[in-house]
Structure 1
């Protein structure tokens, strides 16, 4: 295949409808739409392949730099710290507590925190492993399946959250259409997703940590995510960059994707100082937190 020539056999772009794209990172199978600049994978899996992907091995991965998490459940404390920080911001934007839907809720950690803080929280998750863990170990209301399959009352949620979710979707446009349908007029959508136009993404190219071949299917910039939201009458009100809580050891492992020499030096220093397990908040300014509201007047 000539990776320099445009492809004209792609499925229609979810933003502009074009079937033409040029390879941005051929080695990672990443294409840019020639019509609107939306970046996506050249191979979009179907529902069956996705369900196979998000098995237990995704949440306990042997190579989390390429796929999944080292140990999502063992990292619960750090993940929950991040979720508490995000929920505090959501509460400021929402103005009041009410009914919340977490789409792509994984094992339900965010749901549990939201419930403890007074939200009427419900979650939906495609991974059978994550749903089973939540049902066995968490006191949460979780549905297993896709948003399209869920029998939920239209205009019944005050807030919908999509944490690190939309980039995994075969059709983010459809997911946002469902979100619009389920939100009350004036309801709040909050989502996080990697920023393909960030400085680190531009510097590192196909080596950027946000590139995960076979896992991340769409790569948004502030411009393209705003366009997609507006397409579904979800009005963007704020876009900012956020980080997450991680331990020093995880941070050092991730530097290995960019420089093995730096990783070795940091690893030695970390062991000498005894700080490998210290938890820190890291914001590399390449993850967007996007807030949008459903218009008061529905279609």
Structure 2
């Protein structure tokens, strides 16, 4: 009798087998790789856009509710880009362009700006609102890889890498499209924030019945969040793709706007610049997260004896964060 092979047992980040469902959501499960500690959802979109309707009245209302967020964040992202490269007359590509707001902003700054957006709904809004024709073809497909290799001075992925089916393939494709000396800028949710770490422990202690804040990080809807990175994981993935991460300075308004996010830039080496240095293996956790069995009974550890049960519970959680 053939054995069943879990399609999500192979890690999206390091490529090794052995990932297992570790945290439960109301819909879906979060897999954890025992080799590199990468966390990812058992959800893929595939390449078909059939479930994504055009710009209906309901779709327009949803999109318009997101416009204000982009109008706030994109000028701050523009300032970040301007710290690292000149935009006037640059060839730029926004992967996961959404509503097209950043593409439009780059065009206003004098760039020849293109955008990739797989969602029919968002492409329709970009065309109607800004006259932008965003491309539906993915960056790792033949159209871009065969016809636009080493074409762009700047490639941006704003709140994108957590959405894609294959983050390694997406970043490798972006690196191929980048000119030598070109720049990649991205931001993505940070897995090391307090709310995520607390959710890990509470989910374990409740045997998966309490996802707590996980629903703010992951979503099983089409184009939802499928993986959340630590800073080291996404930095080393950029290095694996042949890119050299560069320091990022965020001032007061940007710090507040990007709170809870990882913001990174990376350059593609030129023939005369040093290649990225090899990095050490991705870290495994220093100690495993507590399980209900390892924490029961709560009073088994002398440091918590004498505290009320609720305080014992909180003390153990915070001690283990």
Residue in 1 aligned with 2:168? 173
Q: CA deviation at 1:16?
A: 2.0
Deviations 1:232-253 (A, max 9, x none): 10122236789999xxxxxxxx
2:206 paired with 1:199: no
Flag the 1:197–1:54 CA change in 2: closer, same or farther, 3 A: farther
* TM-score under structure 1 length normalisation: 0.72
Distance (whole Å) between structure 2 residues aligned to residue 174 and residue 199 of structure 1? 29
Flag the 1:202–1:182 CA change in 2: closer, same or farther, 3 A: same
Question: What does residue range 85-234 of structure 1 map to in structure 2 within 5 Å?
Answer: 85-97=76-88, 98-149=90-141, 150-151=143-144, 152-205=147-200, 206-208=211-213, 209-214=216-221, 215-234=224-243
Flag the 1:181–1:9 CA change in 2: closer, same or farther, 3 A: closer
- The structure 2 residue matched to 1:79, chosen from 64, 67, 70, is 70
Higher strand content, 1 or 2: 1
Residue in 2 aligned with 1:12? 10
Quick check: 1:101–1:159 contact (8 Å CA) kept in 2? yes
Distance (whole Å) between structure 1 residues aligned to residue 251 and residue 188 of structure 2? 10
Quick check: 1:101–1:161 contact (8 Å CA) kept in 2? yes
Q: CA deviation at 1:8?
A: 6.6
Quick check: 1:201–1:286 contact (8 Å CA) kept in 2? no
Question: What does residue range 62-73 of structure 1 map to in structure 2 within 5 Å?
Answer: 71-73=62-64
Distance (whole Å) between structure 2 residues aligned to residue 9 and residue 72 of structure 1? 33
Q: Which runs of 5+ in 1 are unaligned?
A: 1-6, 62-68, 246-280
Query: Root-mean-square deviation (CA), in Å?
Result: 3.2
2:270 paired with 1:296: yes
Q: CA deviation at 1:108?
A: 0.7
Residue in 2 aligned with 1:23? 21
Q: CA deviation at 1:231?
A: 1.1
